[in-house]
């Protein structure tokens, strides 16, 4: 179902404008470059509209937001909407502070998003349900077991309808939906949770996938499978006696460049609901 999606990214070489946090920004840049896309980071209100205008996608990540960058996120988002450039929202830590929650709400009012991607805490917050966000990692209670998959998928479908965005909920299993098509994805490896930035990198490469491919929900699913498969192959390539989470991250970003469409198609563990 993902025919040529990676090839399209590498051919289009989309420029992805990231307004993102300073914790994982380097990993986002390198994940995009390894994948075959091109990153640009700019967050000053004096330039974000121009930078968005020359880009093929905009990714807004509220990981280390502040009053200065919140303004820039809104300006860039509106400009992207005007120019029909797709926008991804990563509401990092929504629910952990009023500032993050209210910024997420404000962004949803001001900007039309193509994709909203977060863990279940963040997505529940965005959908105004109560949620106990624990830092920026998903709570253990937020891991998506089979038992709560149905309920979460239903919630995601509702949120997709109300926002018009593809909703991607990532965890032990991922849910992707545009309210019409819903996918469950089971790629990935638990070690991904012990590396900072796997969620942020995923949001950034999602920008590249939807910029280079038609069909946002399928392109978004391809991004999630790609990330998950890179996590699996990274784990397969670490030598556990002397390699740990940092070697794992190196391998993960490496595999962003080594994965091809055959590998994506062959290893994707995705089912339509």
Footprint of a copy of itself on this chain (CB under 8 A)? 15, 21-27, 29-30, 33-34, 38-44, 46-47, 50-51, 54-55, 63-68, 93, 96-100, 134-137, 193-197, 237, 242-247, 249-258
Q: How far is the CB of 26 from a copy of itself (least distance, A)?
A: 6
Q: How far is the CB of 165 from a copy of itself (least distance, A)?
A: 25
C-alpha to C-alpha distance for 219 and 216, rounded to whole angstroms: 5
* Helices 198-212 and 216-237, axial angle in degrees (round to 10): 140
**C-beta of 102 vs 150, nearer to a copy of itself:** 102
Report the greatest alpha carbon distance in the chain: 52
**C-beta of 49 vs 178, nearer to a copy of itself:** 49
Question: What contacts 254, CB < 8 A, 6 or more positions away?
Answer: 34, 234
**C-beta of 55 vs 182, nearer to a copy of itself:** 55
What tokens does 180 get? 């019409």
**C-beta of 3 vs 246, nearer to a copy of itself:** 246
Q: How far is the CB of 208 from a copy of itself (least distance, A)?
A: 13
**C-beta of 164 vs 244, nearer to a copy of itself:** 244
Question: Cα–chain-centroid distance for residue 2?
Answer: 18
* 250-186-197 Cα angle (round to 5): 35
Q: How far is the CB of 141 from a copy of itself (least distance, A)?
A: 13
Q: How far is the CB of 126 from a copy of itself (least distance, A)?
A: 17
C-alpha to C-alpha distance for 21 and 159, rounded to whole angstroms: 25
What tokens does 227 get? 């990330």
């Amino acid at each position: 179902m993902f025919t040529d999606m990676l090839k399209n990214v590498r051919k289009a070489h989309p420029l992805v404008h990231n307004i993102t946090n300073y914790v994982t920004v380097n990993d986002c840049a390198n994940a995009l470059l390894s994948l075959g896309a091109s990153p640009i980071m700019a967050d000053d209100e004096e330039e974000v509209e121009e930078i968005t205008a020359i880009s093929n996608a905009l990714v807004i990540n509220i990981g280390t937001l502040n009053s200065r960058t919140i303004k820039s996120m809104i300006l860039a988002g509106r400009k992207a909407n005007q120019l029909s450039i797709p926008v991804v929202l990563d509401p990092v830590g929504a629910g952990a502070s009023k500032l993050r929650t209210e910024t997420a709400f404000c962004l949803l009012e001001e900007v039309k998003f193509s994709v909203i991607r977060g863990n279940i805490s963040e997505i529940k917050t965005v959908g105004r349900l109560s949620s106990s966000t624990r830092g920026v990692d998903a709570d253990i209670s937020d891991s998506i077991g089979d038992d709560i998959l149905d309920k979460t998928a239903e919630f995601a479908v509702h949120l997709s309808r109300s926002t018009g965005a593809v909703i991607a909920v990532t965890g032990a299993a991922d849910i992707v939906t545009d309210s019409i098509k819903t996918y469950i994805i089971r790629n990935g490896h638990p070690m991904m949770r012990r590396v900072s930035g796997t969620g942020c990198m995923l949001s950034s490469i999602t920008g590249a996938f939807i910029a280079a491919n038609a069909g946002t929900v399928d392109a978004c699913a391809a991004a999630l499978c790609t990330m998950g498969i890179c996590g699996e192959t990274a784990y397969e390539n670490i030598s556990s006696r002397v390699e740990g989470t940092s070697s794992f991250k190196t391998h993960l970003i490496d595999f962003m460049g080594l994965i091809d469409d055959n590998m994506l198609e062959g290893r994707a563990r995705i089912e339509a609901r």
